[in-house]
Amino acid sequence: MISLTINGKSTKVDADPNTPLLWVLRDHLQLTGTKFGCGMAQCGACTIHLDGEAIRSCVTPLSAAAGKQVTTIEAIGETQAGKALQAAWLDADVPQCGYCQSGQIMSAAALIKQNPQPSDDQIATAMNGNICRCGTYGRIHSAIKQAAEDLKKGGAA
């Protein structure tokens, strides 16, 4: 049994400690918002926050999360940055197929938290690990800028 906190709830998981967090979230806990895209930290579809840092859950073993705080797309809307990003995402009508968008929003949320007013280059660098086959990068960019702007108006991120 490994104990960790997932979206604010303390949770005990009975799984091989080597199991990637992605499969713990999906197969054990049915938190299916976090997606499988590549299994080798190439695409970012599985991005979650571990103690506030964006990580690729497909290559992070359960053991690495013991005693830590995990945040997934299901709860990111409860944070100020996550809420602002989701609203901006809807404003720019970002998603197409939508499969990569959980990971995109989780990467963007980690960026905004660390750097509330990122430059274009800083956004690009932070988001470069998240692949979108539908090509929504342009709208993602607008949405991140918008969310940063909204957070500035509404107070600190």
* DSSP run (H or E) holding 127: helix 120-127
Question: How far apart are CB 56 and another protein at their closest, in Å?
Answer: 12
Question: Of 143, 68, 65, nearest to 105 (Cα)?
Answer: 143
From candidates 63, 124, 152, 154, binder to another protein by CB under 8 A = 124
* DSSP run (H or E) holding 122: helix 120-127
8-state DSSP, 134: T
Question: How far apart are CB 85 and another protein at their closest, in Å?
Answer: 8
Burial (0-12, 13-18, 19+ Cβ within 10 Å), 136: buried
Contact indicator for 34, 19 with CB cutoff of 8 Å: no
From candidates 59, 64, 99, 114, binder to another protein by CB under 8 A = 99
Question: Of 110, 148, 103, nearest to 129 (Cα)?
Answer: 103
Residues in 12-71 that interact with another protein by CB under 8 A: 15-16, 19-20, 23, 26-28, 30-40, 42-43, 45
From candidates 4, 54, 70, 105, binder to another protein by CB under 8 A = 105
- Is residue 97 part of the contact set for another protein (CB under 8 A)? yes
Residues forming contacts to another protein in the complex (CB under 8 A) are: 15-16, 19-20, 23, 26-28, 30-40, 42-43, 45, 72-74, 77, 86, 89-90, 93-102, 105, 124-125, 127-128, 130-141
